[in-house]
Structure 1
C-alpha cells in the first residue's frame, strides 16, 4: 500500500517518554518551577516540548538543553515498542524504505536503534542538526520527498502526536496516527492504529 514509511521516533518507534518527561521535570525544577510528570507528559503529547517553555515563559533553547542534560542521567533504558523490529524488517524485505524524522539528535537516535540492531533497517534519519523548521512545518518532509523522489500518495508519515500528523498533511503525504493510549481522540489522520504490528496491513 505504501512504499515509504517516515517515522517519528520518540513515542512512536521507541518508548522514550519516561526519560524525556523526567528530564523536563528536573529542568523546570532548576528554574524553581514544580511540575508533575503527568502535566509535562500531557503537554508533550498534546503539543510539544516548545509548549512547555511557552507555558512557563522560558527560553525554549535553554530549557531544552537543561532537559537533555538531565535526561542523560535518568536511570531508564528506552526500548522499542512491541513488534517494531518485525514491521521494519518486513518493510525492507518488501523493497520499501524506512526513514525517521525526529526532534531527537540523530546520533542519539542512531545509538538507540543500534542497541536493538535496527539501524540497518533505516535509510535516513533527519534530526534537528539538519536545521529544518520543526514539525509541523513540512520543510524536513519536503527535503525527503525531493531527495528520494517520493510519491506523496505512497509515502506515509507515522507519529504519536498531532504535530506529526500535521507535518504530514502540510507536506501532502499520507498520515498514520499511532494511538497506543487512546489519549488524543481528535487527531485527524488518514489512518489510525493502536499497535505497531497493525502497521503491517499498510506494507
Structure 2
C-alpha cells in the first residue's frame, strides 16, 4: 500500500475529477440551459475550468461568461433549474470512470478501510452515477453539496464523515483533484492526497501542497 495510507482507517473521495470525468455531460447540460435563454453555449473546455464549487456556482460562471455580467438572481435560478433538468436527463451518457479507480477501491475494501464520498454535486445525482458505474457498494456514506449547509472547501462535510464513522481526523485521508479538496481536508485535520488529471480551475493542484500525489489511484495499491 502507498505510504500515505499508513495509520489510515477512513478514506474519503471527491467524485467529479477524481473518480469520474463528468465534464462532457455537464458541458452539454450547461449549453442546453444557456440555449434555452438564447445564450451561446460555452463549450467543454470552459466548463472544465468552472466545475468544482457546486452547480449554482457553475451556472453563475457560465452566465457571467455568456453575458459579461453577474446574473440577476431570478435569471440565475431559472437557468440553474434548466441545467438540473437537462443534466438529469442524461447525466452519465458521456461520463467515464478514470483508470485505476476500481482497482483502488477494491484493494481498499479488501484492507477493511471505511470509504466515503464527499462531493459538491447535488446529492440527487450521486446514486444514479454510482449505480451506473457499479460503485455504490464501496461507500458507507455519500455527502452531496446540498446535504449540509456547508460544502467544500469548508471542512464541515469531512468532519461530518469522520464523526459518522467514529474515526479521529488524524486517521482519515481526503483524496481529490482540486484546491478545495485539499483545503477542506487540511482544515478538517485529514491527510490529503491529490490526483493531477481532474479539474482545478486551470491551476496545478500541486500548488495546494497536498501531503502526497499520485498520477493514478492504482498507485495507492
Give the TM interval when normalised to the shorter protein: 0.7 to 0.9
1:172 match: 189
Change (3 A) 1:173 1:64: farther
| Equivalent of residue 60 in structure 2, options 53, 56, 60 | 53
1:28-55 deviations in whole A, cap 9, x for unaligned?
333343223222222226x665155056
Provide the TM-score with structure 1 as the length reference: 0.84
Assess if the C-alpha contact under 8 Å between 2:22 and 2:95 holds in 1. Answer: yes
Change (3 A) 1:66 1:15: same
| Whole-Å separation in 2 of the counterparts to 1:90 and 1:111 | 23
| Equivalent of residue 210 in structure 2, options 189, 192, 195 | 189
* Structure 1 segments of 4+ aligned residues over 6 angstroms from their partners: none
| Whole-Å separation in 2 of the counterparts to 1:164 and 1:19 | 22
Structure 1 residue 108 corresponds to structure 2 residue 125: yes
Q: For 1:124-163, what aligned pairs fall within 5 Å after superposition?
A: 124-163=141-180
Q: For 1:58-137, what aligned pairs fall within 5 Å after superposition?
A: 58=71, 59=73, 61-74=77-90, 76-137=93-154
| Whole-Å separation in 1 of the counterparts to 2:196 and 2:144 | 23
RMSD: 2.5
Assess if the C-alpha contact under 8 Å between 1:4 and 1:96 holds in 2. Answer: yes
Assess if the C-alpha contact under 8 Å between 1:25 and 1:37 holds in 2. Answer: no
Provide the TM-score with structure 2 as the length reference: 0.78
- Name stretches of at least 5 consecutive residues in structure 1 with no aligned partner: none
Assess if the C-alpha contact under 8 Å between 1:25 and 1:40 holds in 2. Answer: no
Q: Point out the more displaced range, 178-187 or 137-146.
A: 178-187
Assess if the C-alpha contact under 8 Å between 1:177 and 1:193 holds in 2. Answer: yes
SS at match of 1:130: coil
| Whole-Å separation in 2 of the counterparts to 1:111 and 1:78 | 12
| Whole-Å separation in 1 of the counterparts to 2:37 and 2:124 | 28
1:199 match: 220
SS at match of 1:189: coil
Assess if the C-alpha contact under 8 Å between 1:181 and 1:194 holds in 2. Answer: no
- Name stretches of at least 5 consecutive residues in structure 2 with no aligned partner: 1-5, 65-69
